[in-house]
Chains A and B, each alone.
Chain A
Amino acid sequence: DAKTTQPNSMESNEEEPVHLPCNHSTISGTDYIHWYRQLPSQGPEYVIHGLTSNVNNRMASLAIAEDRKSSTLILHRATLRDAAVYYCILRALITGNQFYFGTGTSLTVIP
C-alpha cells in the first residue's frame, strides 16, 4: 500500500493559518488523498479529500502538487478546537477502499 510521510508534530498560533504537509511519493494514478483528524478521546473524523485538483470545504482546503507526490492541508484560521492529530491517507480504489493510517501530525494550537 502506498505510504505517506508527515511531520510528527506542529504548532500554530490561534487565528493564524496552518499548513500541514504530507509526502506520498509512491502514489498511483487512482489513489485518492484523504485527510482525517482525531480529536482527543474521539474517533477520527473526515476533513477533506481530493484526487488531482485543489479542494475547498467549510473545514479546510487541500492543495495537491501537480505531480501528486505531496499535498498540504490548510486550516485558514486555527482555533483551539483544531488541536488534534491529522492523518493523511491514500485510498487505493483498486485494493478495495481500506484505509491504512500512519502516525499523523499532532497539531498544537497556542492561544
Chain B
Amino acid sequence: DADVTQTPRNRITKTGKRIMLECSQTKGHDRMYWYRQDPGLGLRLIYYSFDVKDINKGEISDGYSVSRQAQAKFSLSLESAIPNQTALYFCATSDPQGGDYGYTFGSGTRLTVV
C-alpha cells in the first residue's frame, strides 16, 4: 500500500456542489499538506497542518477548508465548487524529526468542476 493515499483519484462534479478530497498516511508523520497543481503553474500550497490541533492557510486558501481528523487523516473540502478549481490536487506529509528528506506525496486527485 502507498504511504500517502488520496481518494478519489478522479472526480467530476458540478458547479456549486460540495466536495471532499481525502488523504490518509501510514508514515506516522505529524505534518500534512494540501497542494494544487495547474498546468504551467507548478504546485501551490492550499493548507497545512503540523499536528491534529493545528491548521494553517497557505498561498491560495480562499474557497477551501480542511479538517485534520487524526494524525493520519487530512481532508480538503470545496464548499461550493467552481470551474476554476479544476486542477490536480496533491496531499503530502513530512517529518521534521526524521532527517531532512522533505515530503512524501500522494498520487493526486484530478478534480473537474463543470
Contact = CB atoms under 8 A, between A and B. Distances in A.
A101 B103 CA distance: 12
B43 A101 contact: yes
Contacts of A49: 100-102
Nearest to A51: B100
Interface stretch (A18-26, A36-44, A65-73, A76-84): A36-44
Contacts of A87: 42-43
A96 B59 contact: no
A47 to B, nearest CB: 10
B105 A44 contact: yes
Given A44-B90, A97-B31, A32 B107 contact: no
B64 interface: no
Contacts of B48: 98
A71 B26 CA distance: 33
A103 B40 contact: yes
Interface in B21-49: 31, 33, 35, 40-45, 48
A103 B58 contact: no
Given A97-B31, A97-B96, A43 B108 contact: yes
A98 B102 CA distance: 9
Interface in B61-114: 90, 92, 94, 96, 100-108
A43 B103 CA distance: 11
Nearest to B59: A100
A109 B104 CA distance: 25
A102 B44 CA distance: 8
A36 B37 CA distance: 15
Nearest to B40: A103
A45 B33 CA distance: 15
